[in-house]
Structures are given as structure tokens and as C-alpha cells.
Chains A and B, each alone.
Chain A
Amino acid sequence: MTEVSIPAPRTREAPAAQRDVRLAPRPPTGRRLRPGPTSARALALGPLLLLVGWTGGSAVGLIDPATLSPPWTVVTTFGELAADGRLQSNLLTSLQRSVAGLVLGVGAGVGLALLAGLTRTGEAIIDGPVQVKRAVPTLALIPLAIIWFGIGEQMKIIVIATSVLIPVYVNTHAALRGVDARYVELAETVGLSRLRFVRQVALPGALPGFFVGLRLAVTVSWTALVVVEQVNATSGIGYLMTQARTYGQTEIIIAGLVVYAVFGLVGDTAVRAIERSALSWRRTLGS
């Protein structure tokens, strides 16, 4: 009680040791607003946690195998699929479709973004239709695509390419528009030709935006793949999964999902690696 009622002057008379201001551990300077370095291991943490949850849930019976097959069943299914060669051949088909669509779509996206970003006419003609396409879901285009291009590879690749085109176009176009006007002025004073301006100023300036688009595009190429392979396909991972659905084989469906997930992740990691080396001049939060 007396302790509590002691008046303010006591603080002044407190022993030296108590008056000492404890130095709070200071955060490392220059780091406070940055998220800190990211390692490959840190990036794997999220997916790893999911895997642990899935395994644990299945092991203790929290997850019904009829709803979601346990990981070990999926692993053995992978073994079986690989043993009879179905995994490899379907995976190869899917990869070919995805890569073909990706290459075409990225090329078209960059080309259109350049035309729209660097010329008034291009902007007027291209930007509107691309935004319209952006608003239309890929799935809704399938019936028309089948009528136009049939049910063969051509249709699938075109659907993937047009889906991939959107994120590449949108991000590259925005980045081109955002290239600093001061650099444009510099290009004028050193007398750069239009071609050189595009190659040495516009394109490198838009590269960060392009890579954002490319990362999205890699994922989109896989998701578009799922759509086209579940419609009238006779091969590919999506076909494998559609068949499995007919026979109620959840383990094959999961195996297919795992393939999609792994390749999505691998694709994204690959693009990030390319991005890091291509944009090594940048000093930003992420690096």
C-alpha cells in the first residue's frame, strides 16, 4: 500500500540501476520496411504445410478416402500410371499443348501490347477487343471454338493461346504506358531511331510488367489446359481425370491435380528464375 501511495519525487530518487534506461534491441537498420530475403526453402513452406495437413488428416481418419484419397494411395496410383505408360504419354500431350499455347499466346500478347502501347491507332483498334476477350470466360468460348476449329489440337492450342494472351497483354501494355517520359525525352535528345527506342528503352522498361504477365500466363496456360482437355479430349492429363470421374477413381483425379499443381509451381519458379537474371539491374523490395 505504501509503495503505491509514494509520490512522484520517488522516481527521481530511485537508485541509479533502476533509472538506467534499458536499451531495446534495435532492429537491423535498413531492414524494417523490407520483408527480408526469401529463400527457396521459405517458398516451399506453404505447399509443405498443405501436404502435412492432408497426410495427417488422412492418417487419423479425418478425411474420408472416398472424398479425398490419402497421399499414399495417390503415390501408388502414380506408380501404376507410370508403369503402364499412361502418365508419361498423357503428360507429354498436355505439356505440348500448354507450351505451344504459351509460346503463341505470349508472342501475340507482347506484339499486341507493343502495337497498342506505342501507337495511337494500335491502341484504338486493339485495346477494346482485348478487354472484351478478358471479360469472357474461356469455358464460354469452347462451343464456338469447336464449331470454328473442330475438336482437334488446333482448337485446344488456340483456346490456350487466347487465354494466355490476356495477362501478357494487360501487364506489358500497362508497363509500356508507364515507361518514364524522361527516358523518352532522353531518347529524343540522343536521336534514337524508333526501332532502337523500342529495343533499348520501351522493351526493357516494360520488362518488369511483362514478367508479371508471364508468370500469370504460365498458370493460365495450365488452367486453360484443364478446360480444353475435359471437353472432347482423348488424351492428356485432363482426359485422364475426366475418365477417372466417370469411374469414380478419386486417386487418379488427385494424381492429375498433383501433376497440374507441380507443373504450375515448376513453371512459376522457372519464370521467376529467368526474371531474376533478366532484371538483375533492379534494386527492389523483392531482391
Chain B
Amino acid sequence: MATDTRELTAVRATTLTRGFGARIVLDSLDLEIAEGEFVALLGRSGSGKSTLLRALAELDDGVAGSGELAVPVERSVVFQDARLLPWARVLDNVVLGLDGPQARERGREALAEVGLGGRERAWPNELSGGEQQRVALARSLVRRPALLLADEPFGALDALTRIRMQELLLELHARHRPAVLLVTHDVDEAVALADRVIVLDTGRIVVDRPIPRGASDAAAHRKHLLAALGVG
């Protein structure tokens, strides 16, 4: 697939269509994400959120579809499960697939950044769920992505851990400025983290709403988004 890193645009999807059998999941969707922009993607189950994320991750081999898609080569994915190889130590998980003598050094730095310095030799099984997800974040970071795709990365975490992870993600975004597409069904999470919130419904974008940083009208955004999701 063509790769495009034209200035200021990290993702450009034009009339993107994906379907499973007769069911159309993404319906001629247009989407642009600017470099460094933090976009949250909301939608009910079956709205096509995951399909869109998988399309951007080019993980949808064998899925029927059409349209044009330009995504950076340097992209990484954070899944809902930390998806660490249980037979590889934490550092080896972080640098999985990386080459060169600096890879391990960079891996250590990334681990330190997510607050897991010193746990390089631990097995994933020895870590808590939150720590495992931190390792997954480090694994994404160390690749210096221009685009970070996150599929409900905090969905399986307890409320306190989730808040801490959200802060960490914001911090990392501020420091490294990748474009982020965060799939979530937590409206508050979307409003708190993103520069822009998109709501997907039956494969189309029904809301595309910028959330200015520092704006105090979070409640208004929340209400609007919930209404778009058919709640409240």
C-alpha cells in the first residue's frame, strides 16, 4: 500500500470502504489526522472503530475493501491486552523486531520512561496488568512512531490504574508528539485526552469535534458526544 508522509498529515484516508461479506463496516470514510494530533475514536460496538484501526494498522489482510489510505511506515499498535510474549523477558519484549546495538539501550530508556526502569529482566507473568500495559506502551514508543494506534488500551485496567495510564499516555504524547488514534468507548477518556474526538456510526463519521486544550467546557463536549452515541 502506498505510504505518504506529506507535511503535516500523518493519516489520509479517502473513501475508505471495508466489509465482511454483505455487511459494510466502513462506508466510504474520509479521515485526515495531522502530525502530532491526538484523535479519539468513539462509537458503539459494531460501529467500525476496530475495523478502522485495523485498516490503519494494515492488519486487515483478506478483508474486502476499497479506497485510498496513506499512513506512515513508523507506526505502532497498542492492543487492549498488553500482548507480551510470555517467554521473552520484559526488555526483549520491548525491543522485539528491532535491530542494531542501540536497540537495547533505547529499550531501557523507554522502560524508564514508563516507570519500569530496573524491571528489564522480569518475565511478563510477574507484572501486574497495569505494568504489562506500560511495557506495551514502551514497546510502541521505542519504535519512535509517527502514528500510534491504540485499541482500547486501558479497557482491561482497574479505574485507578486507568487514570495513571491516561496521564502517562498524555505525557508521552507531549514529549514525543506522534499522531495518536485512540479507540475507546469511554467518553470521559476521549474528552480528557484528545485534541479531537470522532464518533463513528455504521461506518460513517457522524461527529468530528475539536476539543481545545484547557477548555473548561468538558461537560458540554461530553453531553454532545453522548447524544451522538445515542445515550442521554
Contact call B96/A200, Cβ cutoff below 8 A: yes
Q: Compute how far the CA of A182 lies from the CA of B97 in the bound complex, rounded to whole angstroms.
A: 16
- A 72-87 contacts with B by CB, 8 A: none
**Is A23's CB within 8 Å of the partner chain B?**
no
Pairwise interchain contact A182-B85, C-beta atoms closer than 8 A: no
Residues of A within 8 A of B87 (CB): 204-205, 207, 279, 281
Knowing A183-B85, A205-B87, A282-B86 are in contact, say whether A192-B125 is a contact too (CB < 8 A). Answer: no
A196 engages B97 (CB within 8 Å): yes
For the complex, give the distance between the alpha carbons of A191 and B57 in Å.
11
| Contacting residue for B96 out of A192, A281, A283, CB 8 A | A192
**How many Å lie between the Cα of A204 and that of B84 in the bound state?**
13
Q: How far is the CA of A191 from the CA of B145 in the complex (A)?
A: 13
Interface SS, A side: helix
A-B contact count (CB 8 A): 46
- With A182-B83, A281-B125 given, is the CB distance from A200 to B88 under 8 Å? yes
Given contacts A188-B59, A192-B97, contact A204 B85 (CB under 8 A): yes
Which chain B positions have C-beta within 8 A of A204? 85, 87-88
Query: Quick check: B97 and A283 within 8 Å, CB to CB?
Result: no
What does DSSP make chain B's interface, helix, strand, loop or mixed? loop
B88 / chain A contacts, CB cutoff of 8 Å: 200, 204, 281
Least CB distance, B147 to chain A, in whole angstroms:
12
Are B83 and A183 in contact (CB-based, < 8 A)?
yes
B86 touches A189 (CB 8 A): no
- Segment at the interface with A among B1-9, B73-81, B111-119: B73-81
CB distance A283 to B83 under 8 Å?
no
Contacts of B143 in A (CB 8 A): 190
How far apart are the CA atoms of A196 and B96 in the complex, in Å?
9
Q: Which residues in chain B, 33-79, are within 8 Å of chain A measured between CB atoms?
A: 57, 59, 76-77, 79
**Residue among A182, A200, A201 having the largest count of chain B Cβ atoms under 10 Å:** A200
Q: Are A201 and B85 in contact (CB-based, < 8 A)?
A: yes
Whether the Cβ atoms of A182 and B125 lie closer than 8 Å is: no
A151 to B127, CA, bound (A): 57
The residue of chain A having its C-beta at the shortest distance from the C-beta of B87 within the complex is A204
> Residue A64 at the B interface, CB < 8 A?
no
Interface residue ranges, B against A (CB under 8 Å): 57, 59, 76-77, 79, 81, 83, 85-88, 96-97, 123-125, 139, 143
Some 22 contacts from A to B, beta carbons below 8 A apart, are A182-B83, A183-B83, A183-B85, A185-B59, A186-B83, A186-B85, A186-B96, A187-B97, A189-B57, A189-B77, A190-B76, A190-B96, A190-B143, A192-B96, A196-B97, A200-B96, A204-B87, A205-B85, A205-B87, A281-B124, A282-B125, A283-B125
Binding site for B on A (CB under 8 A): 182-183, 185-192, 196, 200-201, 204-205, 207, 279-283
